[in-house]
Every structure is written in structure tokens, then in C-alpha cells.
């Protein structure tokens, strides 16, 4: 169930705790190279006045029920090369989901701007909580 949410473009919008992801368009991702569009509004972070803009989410790693990773291509070109991802592992309680954000590949000029990480760890953790709530509401006899 969790992996299914992460493969749906609007699944990313549903679990976003930053408030930046407004809506998404595109098909369910199934492999490396798949992409979809996310309509963003950076104003939710209150850090940079970028207003509304679109990004292409490009899948960089994909293993069914185990891993989904992506980068974004948007208004800044060439792309910054920061990566987001989720690793999923079976556990005795269901599925253990780990969220990560990797900006190790970004160019020095972006590092020097002091904008990374864009999303703080607390926001990533909050998105995991929302994902858990969605999954639990669909698997619970009361949901």
C-alpha cells in the first residue's frame, strides 16, 4: 500500500508536509526514467519568493515495493541534482519506510547559496507520518 501511494503523482501531494506541493499530473511511475509534473508554491516555506512554478519529477531509481528515488528539473537549469527517495522494507509491523534527501551531487555554486537542505528533517519525518496515516486508514477495519 505505501509503495502504491509513492508511485502515484498525487500520492506525493497527499503526503507532502511542507505545503509546497499543490497538485500533480502524470501517470503512475513504474520504472527509472518515468516522470510527472508537480505544481509547486514555494511561498509555503517562507524562505524564497519564488511563487508558483512547475517541476518535472524524474525517477532515478526504482525497485518495486523496495525503492523509489527521484530528482527534479524545474526553473533552475541545469537541474540542481538533489535527490529524494523512499526505501521500503518488510517488518513485523508491516512496512518500514525510510525517507532520504541527498544533495551530495549539487554543484558548489548551489552549496554556496546556503539553501540546502531545502526541506528540513522534521518535514521529511512529518511526511512519513502522513504516509503512515493514509496506509493505516486503508488497512484498518475502521478506515
Domain harbouring 115, CATH code: 3.30.530.20
Residue 115: band (very low, low, confident or very high) from pLDDT cuts 50, 70, 90: confident
**What's the distance, Cα to Cα, between the start and end of the chain in Å?**
14
Higher pLDDT residue, 121 or 44?
121
CA separation, residue 35 to residues 20, 32, 70, 109 (Å): 18, 9, 9, 26
Structural domain boundaries, residue 17: 2-139
Residue 133: band (very low, low, confident or very high) from pLDDT cuts 50, 70, 90: very high
CA dihedral 62, 125, 48, 13 (to 10 degrees): 60
Count the domains in the chain: 1
Q: Which residues pair with 73 in a beta bridge?
A: 56
- The pTM for the full model equals 0.89
Residue 131: band (very low, low, confident or very high) from pLDDT cuts 50, 70, 90: very high
Q: Can you give the pLDDT at residue 119?
A: 81
pLDDT tens-digit map of 40-49? 987 777 677 7
> Contact at 8 Å (CB) between 20 and 45?
yes
At residue 3, the 3 state secondary structure works out as helix
Amino acid at each position: 500500500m505505501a509503495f502504491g501511494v509513492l508511485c502515484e503523482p498525487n500520492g506525493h501531494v497527499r503526503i507532502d508536509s511542507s505545503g509546497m506541493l499543490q497538485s500533480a499530473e502524470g501517470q503512475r511511475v513504474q520504472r527509472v526514467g518515468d516522470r510527472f509534473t508537480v505544481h509547486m508554491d514555494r511561498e509555503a516555506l517562507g524562505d524564497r519568493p519564488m511563487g508558483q512554478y512547475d517541476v518535472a519529477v524524474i525517477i532515478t531509481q526504482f525497485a518495486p515495493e523496495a525503492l523509489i528515488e527521484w530528482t527534479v528539473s524545474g526553473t533552475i537549469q541545469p537541474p540542481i541534482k538533489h535527490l529524494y527517495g523512499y526505501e521500503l522494507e518488510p517488518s513485523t509491523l508491516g512496512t518500514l519506510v525510510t525517507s532520504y534527501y541527498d544533495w551530495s551531487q549539487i554543484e558548489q555554486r548551489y552549496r554556496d547559496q546556503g539553501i540546502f537542505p531545502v526541506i528540513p528533517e522534521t518535514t521529511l519525518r512529518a511526511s512519513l507520518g502522513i504516509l503512515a496515516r493514509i496506509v493505516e486508514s486503508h488497512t484498518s477495519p475502521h478506515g
